[in-house]
Structures are given as C-alpha cells and as structure tokens.
Amino acid sequence: MRPAPGGLLGAHVSTHGGVARAPARGSEIGATAIQLFTKTPNQWREPVLTPEHAAAFRECLAACGIRAVVAHDSYLINLASPEPALRERSRRCFVGELSRCRALGIPWVVSHPGNFIDDQDAGLERNAREYAQCLAELAGNVGVLIEGTAGAGTALGSTFTELRALRDLLPPELRPRVGFCLDTAHLHAAGYDVAGGIDTVWEEFDRVVGFEHLKCLHLNDSKAARGSHLDRHEWIAEGTIGAEPFRRIMRDPRLADVIKIIETPKRDDPLRHDRRMLRRLRAYARGARQTAMGALPP
C-alpha cells in the first residue's frame, strides 16, 4: 500500500471515554499520527491507568494503523516556578505523565516550559533541574519534547536560545531523552518570520539548536499578529501566517520524518474540520496549487 502523502500527520484527539478510544478517533479523520492527553489537562487529579487500560490502548493503536503517538502534559505544570510547593506538585504530576506514557508505549511527552515569575536565568535553571529529576526518577525510553512557546508574560521557551539552554543544562546522560516540538503559531507570535521566511527560521533553529533534535511540529495558523505573543490558533491558510509556509513545510524533505500534529479549531464539527485540515495539508504535500479562482484545497 502506498503511504499517505504528508508522512506522520494527524491531530490532537480526544480521550473521552478512555484513552483506548483515541486511536480510532485518529483513524476516523485519516491520521497516521496522533497527540493526546493522558489525564485531564486542567486538573491535578491523577487518573488510575490499569494494565488492562494500557493493553487495550496498545491493541487499538495497532488495529487502527496509527504510526506515531505523542502525549501532551498538563497545563497546570510549572517546573520553573520559584515556589517550592508548586514545583514539587508539578514534579509529581510530570512524573505521572512520563509513567503513563511508558505504560502506554508512547515515546514522547510534549511539555511547555514553565513561567519563571522572578528571574529568567533562575527559571531556566529550575526548569532544567526539574526535567532532569523527573527523567532520572523514571528510567526507560520515554522522553520529553520541549515545546517552543508564544512568550506571553514570563513563559520560558519562546526563543531558540532558551530552548537550547533548557537541554544544555541537563546532565549529558539525559540529553538523548530530550528533543523539541515547535508550533508554527507560537513561532509566529514569538516574532519569528514564519509567514515570510520559514526557510530562514529553520536555518536559525539548526544553527542554534540542531535540526536533528526537532521531533514534532504543531501545524497551526494564527489569529494573532507576528510578535504579538498571543497564542491564538486558526485554520491552516486562513490566518495571519497564510498558506505558503505550510506548503513549504509539507514538501521539505528534512521534515519528512518529523511528527506533524494539527491543533486547529474544531468548532461546531471536530470530525469535519480535522479531516479538511489534513486533506489540505496532504494536498500541499502532493504539490497541489490554488486554482485560478484562488480557492483553497478543501
């Protein structure tokens, strides 16, 4: 069977009703890769993941033909906080994320860097130290993909220099378990010229961080202006980034093996909108162009 154009391409899917339902939801939209939460992202409560739940997930994953899975961590985690109590709670929560992924066979947890609150350099050091403690506590093959942020407030990780620092501050023996996830909307909001010079953005990332460490991409257009530091996702080619950067991404051979996940608005019909965004991206991968009337791929 010929592989679907676009490689490892999919969406963030719901785990409502149990984590084992996620692979089928990915299959339903035509995904070859999915992202999911292993717990409710805006609650501290830790779920109980039984061996039966984990086995059911693995079986459904194999049956649905999903080739790549990443998890996303809780929104409440702040490993850069200057408050010891919050860092401790965040550490326990993050270890839980890693543990569930190990049980489910998910190799990567996508993680937003924390908010430093007081001093940026101190926050970077705290965040890196906590990543190191969590990874050391949970041995195995599960790793962390540090996600670049839009840079609102005191959020870390909006520049390639900060992302590199978070990895470089880890002990050398743990660095192979740490890579990166970049989000097109976050890059745009942070001030990178995604709309007008995506190739230059990749060159800078390669120079500062190293292209080999890029394991996942979140493909989202943006409602917000470049440099606004506002994280506002929009449908592909219908925001302030536009179509051309996504065409280039989908045809870039350097990104062929990078997992690509959409987090675009689901609005009134999640199934329909995810399907049409994936169709659009696959049309770009095939080299489809706009018609003379300027219509977008459906």
Residue 10 to residue 12: CA distance in whole angstroms: 7
Return the closest-CA partner of residue 250 out of 271, 236, 233, 266: 236
Instruction: Give pLDDT, residue 3.
Output: 52
| The pair of three-digit structure tokens given for residue 260, joined into one six-digit string | 């690509």
Residue 249 CA to its chain's centroid (Å) = 16
What value does the CA radius of gyration of the chain take, rounded to a whole number of Å?
19
pTM higher than 0.85: yes
Instruction: Give pLDDT, residue 295.
Output: 61
CB 34 within 8 A of CB 69: yes
CB 68 within 8 A of CB 48: no
Residue 99 is inside which H or E element, if any? helix 84-104
The chain-wide mean pLDDT, for the chain, equals 95
Instruction: Give pLDDT, residue 296.
Output: 67
Residue 219 to residue 264: CA distance in whole angstroms: 8
Homologous superfamily (CATH) of 9-286 is Divalent-metal-dependent TIM barrel enzymes (3.20.20.150)
pLDDT tens readout for residues 192-239: 999 999 999 999 999 999 999 999 999 999 999 999 999 999 999 999
pLDDT tens readout for residues 4-46: 667 999 999 999 999 999 999 999 999 999 999 999 999 999 9
Instruction: Give pLDDT, residue 290.
Output: 46
Residues 6+ apart with CB under 8 A from 269: none
Residue 260 is inside which H or E element, if any? strand 259-262
Tell me the β-bridge partners of 109. Answer: 71, 144
Return the closest-CA partner of residue 190 out of 242, 218, 236, 230: 230
Asked if residue 293 has pLDDT above 50, the reply is no
CB 39 within 8 A of CB 100: yes
Backbone angles phi, psi at 184, to 5 degrees: -60, -40
Tell me the β-bridge partners of 155. Answer: 115
Between the alpha carbon of residue 72 and those of residues 69, 96, 209, the distances in Å are: 10, 12, 22
Instruction: Give pLDDT, residue 130.
Output: 98
Backbone angles phi, psi at 34, to 5 degrees: -140, 155
CB 156 within 8 A of CB 118: no
Helical axes 120-137 vs 160-168, angle rounded to 10°: 50
Return the closest-CA partner of residue 213 out of 157, 273, 145, 148: 145
Tell me the β-bridge partners of 36. Answer: 71
Asked if residue 1 has pLDDT above 60, the reply is no
What b/e string do you get for 122-142 counting C-beta neighbours within 10 Å, with b at 16 or more? ebbbbbbbbbbbbbeebeeeb
Q: Tokens 């840079």 appear where?
A: 151
Return the closest-CA partner of residue 138 out of 177, 171, 111: 177
pLDDT tens readout for residues 51-65: 999 999 999 999 999
